[in-house]
Structure 1
């Protein structure tokens, strides 16, 4: 079953693919800041009875904060419905932005690791804790 919005860009088509039993929501074109509510409605329509929904974002042409906001809102809508959303085939720019924003794992971006960006976190360097006990003098004023 394919469906498209009545006007504007063709953002979402709902279908079930035989190898993947979860419903697939396909996003294509630019995603603007006002599109999030409509995309969440489309996602909720694909959710009934599905433990997860795959969101194919291979056709998304924007990698900006409006796109991140829409994807995060869609994930929240899925979780509120007792399901989850997994991203499939994010374009390189979107994959990099997902990683930099710390959202790749949250959104389950399957190709985000292939973006070439590796998040490096330095281990915190501090001296090992010493077993020092401090004595408190009752009449000693605080400094």
Structure 2
């Protein structure tokens, strides 16, 4: 059993699903901050389940990225569909968000 003070093992992968609502975003950012206190490395967001990306998806990813940066940390985004990459490119965030 892991002691409460020991950091979580890397990598920590957090799967974001297709049912994301704008009202969920502040809570996601709060949970990320708690997780960042418990892990030393990068938190990876797996977005492969997001089949119909929209403005809420982009907003969530941008805010999660910003929340991590404000704490001097970073996230990684994996599993982005071509549609999500195209949407991020259209909005101008494809080079800002850490896509893998």
Please give the range of the TM-score, normalised by the shorter of the 2 chains. Answer: 0.7 to 0.9
Out of 74, 91, 97, which is 1:101 matched to? 91
What stretches of structure 2 of length at least 5 have no aligned partner?
1-7
Once the two structures are superposed, residues 60-94 of structure 1 have per-residue CA deviations (whole angstroms, 9 ceiling, x without a partner) of 23311111111111111111121011100112211
Aligned partner of 1:33 among 19, 22, 42: 22
TM-score by length of 2: 0.79
Shift of 1:40: 0.9
Aligned residue-pair number: 92
Alpha-carbon contact 1:25-1:43 (below 8 Å) kept: no
Bigger fraction of residues in helix? 2
The farther-off stretch of 68-77 and 99-108 is: 99-108
RMSD: 1.8
Larger Rg: 1
The CA deviation string for residues 89-129 of structure 1, in whole angstroms up to 9 with x for no partner, is 1122111111221212211112xxxxxxxxxxxxxxxxxxx
More strand by percentage: 1
